Amino acid sequence: MVVRLQRRLGDEEEGRRLVRGGTNGHGNQKRPIAVNNGSSSVCVWKGVTFLLVVLLILIVTETIEVKKPMPEETNGQASMGGIVQIKTTLPPSISEDRDTETNVQIPAEATKQPDPTSPPKAPEPEPTNPPTEEPKPEPTSPPTEERKPEPTTPPTEEPNPQPSLSPMESPKVEPIIPPVEEPKQEEPQSEARLQPVANPVDLTSARTTERHTYQRRGQPMSDEDRKAMIDKWGQWTLVDDKERPTTDYYDVYPNRDIPRSAFPSNAWQIDTEYLSKFLPESINLVDRAIEAILTEYGKTEGTFEERAEMFELEMYDSLEKAGNYIISKPEWRKDEVGERGGWSTFKSMEGLKRRLLHAVMTEDTFIFALAGHSAAAGHGNLFAQSYSVQVQWIMEAIFARLGVRHQARNLANGGLGTVQHGLAANSVYGPSIDLLMWDSAMTEKDASALEVLARQAILAGKKVPALWGFLGGTAKYLSMNFDADVGAAGRGTFGIPQAETLEEVEALPWASRYLKCGSDINQICKENKYIGHCWDDDIHPGLEPPTKQKSVPGGQTGWHPGNRSHQLIGRILTFTILRSLKEGLKEWNEAESYAIPDEMWHVTSWYDNIRYKVESSGPDVGSCDELAKLDLDWTCKYPVKARTEFTPRAYPSLSNIRTLMPPDMAKLVPQPDAPLYDPPENFIKDLHPPAGALDLLNIVEAGVDFRSTLNPDYSAEHYKKPTFSSPATMPFGKGVGLISKAGDQFCDGTADSFCGKGALDDCLLAGTNDSRNGLVFDGFSGWVVLNIPDLKFGYVALKFETWHKSGENSQTKDFTSENGESAIRRDLKGDEAPEYCDAFKFEYAIDGKVTVLSKDEFLEKVRLVQRVVETITILKDPDYTGGQEKEVEVAFRITGCERIKTFVFSHIYWA
């Protein structure tokens, strides 16, 4: 059954599985105490009678409970792995249906009192990734038996799968009431839990994290116009003058899930005076953004529900009840649901809210990443006009006010699907994604590509993202089998009136113009589809680009959306995030003493529930069998890492293949061109609405100066560097070339990217990040030598492009033998990719052990995963490292065809 966002379906009682009175929580019936006094003495009788009366009173009032001892119980502790059973009674403030006792299992060691003079040990994270040490197989085990990663420990308490249960009904922890400005009471406090907890973290040893300060992007305004805008919309006025912790003390906790009781005494999260101002101010900021978006599209009349209908999500209790039509066909975006805000499930939106609250509470990052094709990449537009970057364009300022570092990464590539990145999603899209969107329906139809993207996003990252836009039935599969949070964004065109004349076009708000046009003016609308040009002398006065600039960005085709369409989809996504953020902030603001329970914003159990279900799924679940045909079944089971030369990519200076090269090898490879000029660029008018139009960015930026926020570093652990502690076993090739993008190290797909601004670029303002780059080599190039820093499960694969033309590698243009030992120039250029010569050989070496493949053997081993996506698995030995992370040298070359056959090496994958 389909319902609107305003309704919630489902059994309100589902998921409430509390232990009721009558059992002890282990299924054992409560047993009365049998007493035998065995004495005739009157004094003894009186004494025993008195004790019995007291005992009975205590039993009747349930102050104590006597149970039959477990068989191996000693010293008051049950022999259940060192568990102490503590009986508690929930306070009457909690829902009436939860007034029964609960049995809480606490590790025995947790009952010991800590030394108050020393900081507590950081909690051990729950194993969400494969273990660093695995048991070696018994001698009787077959040597080819695969070594599987230890699955994520199933959460002891799974997140409630039925979000129709109000979060406020969850059992509450006792609020910690922080100090107010009143003088401290002289009398001692009987309940320590009501006092601010003394700093539980050794801040002198906490890691200091780089901080980031948001830089305003709004267009210049006159003082008069700015005052009028602020008078109408308001501004951020809150300033925190108190001294707060500056170190990242959260990162000692799994997934930064710091208990509320462990916040330092000067943390803003337990400062009720500050929260009484911060939370209302934050809610007002979010409300301003929501109302400004509605006004931007002319939705100013009627109830909120009526005005917001174009951004409305179609909500489902379960996708099991949702017809396949909506979620399995790309055409759904053309129906009523697709023309609004999209669809999701109640549980998924609860998960999004949890991630947002967690980001605010722990000063974390919130990352939105896009995997897609050319339309999603923004071809035909300036890169900052693409819809994913438009999310950051608005949300970054809002998140910055809330202490969150936000980025949106447009990591789409034209002419391709997503599988080349999806095989190791967290190395390319980043290891800390909160919301991952797939948008490649024009170029990618196979379910296995979507599934491996989702699996790797869940298995290999530091976070478990919500998955948006996964079509082809994959969303339903991920939700039903893995409890993944899923949804999709619509086009929002439901709220755009169709204009039949130019006068009607001009009467529309600027953001709505030229989006829907009648047949009489359709051609005029097409001519106004894009707003963007390639160069303006005001950008860098005095700089004349060496390459003649185009008038407009390339890619302005019928199937690529223009900037207004991109902006509308960006606003759909922004609106969805804002609605969830507001709901979370309101719940926090309404909590007693602002003490929102940990279980409402902690993410570890939420993540573990999803990861565990993915890890424990059998080979008969999903489309992993299709990947097995491609020799890539291991990417369904293990967290995979990669390096690539494609742009854009997350952490581009750390994620390129060249970081794996021994220094002496890297010196032999050309480096990417540098940008012509340094950022930032002067004001680019095409990125802003014209005078008189509502300026959403300036509205959300308005206010006092932005304060710096923590910028947690998720890169160091994921992008490990080789040590090169052992000498290379293979000689370094001297003829390896590089296809790259100018400013390669700045091509991260965000609003701050500074890519494609080199001497050879012909549209500098476009800032296009999308480029299929790689290392170029042929029969004269020699060995490409790399060191994988952390091979663990014994799998390595390479991705090549084997269809390049003869002589394309300029590094070997004067070579007549491998590594150019003589210098006689030969011109072997051709118009088409040449066939393999009979003498062709592909050689690869693992730690110096060389394998030679003939032409036929190579072609048999190479797999065509998708169009122009070819891979070869060169190591498939689960016992290779003994289950321990190991630095492994990988090298390869081609021989026999001189410069006739040219390869481009773009990705290396390993697990």
pLDDT at 323: 59
* pLDDT < 70 regions, the chain: 1-208, 323-336, 472, 814-817, 819-832
pLDDT at 337: 73
How many Å apart are CA 646 and CA 226, to the nearest integer? 42
Closest by alpha carbon to 675, among 540, 516, 556?
540
Helix (H, G, I), strand (E, B) or coil at 356: helix
Q: How many other CB atoms are there within 10 angstroms of residue 881's CB atom? A: 18
pTM, 2 dp: 0.78
pLDDT at 255: 98
pLDDT tens digit string along 225-256? 999 999 999 999 999 999 999 899 999 999 99
Provide the b/e sequence for 767-778 (b: ≥16 CB within 10 Å). bbbbbbbbbbbb
Q: What are the DSSP calls for 213-251, one per residue?
A: -----PPP--HHHHHHHHHHH--B-----S----S-GGG
* 832: CB partners within 8 A, 6+ apart: 805
How many Å apart are CA 894 and CA 260, to the nearest integer? 59
How many Å apart are CA 708 and CA 383, to the nearest integer? 26
pLDDT at 334: 56
How many Å apart are CA 451 and CA 795, to the nearest integer? 20
Q: What is the dihedral of CA 309, 310, 313, 315, to 10 degrees?
A: 50
Whole-number Cα distances in Å, 170 to 31, 595, 599: 31, 13, 8
pLDDT at 834: 85
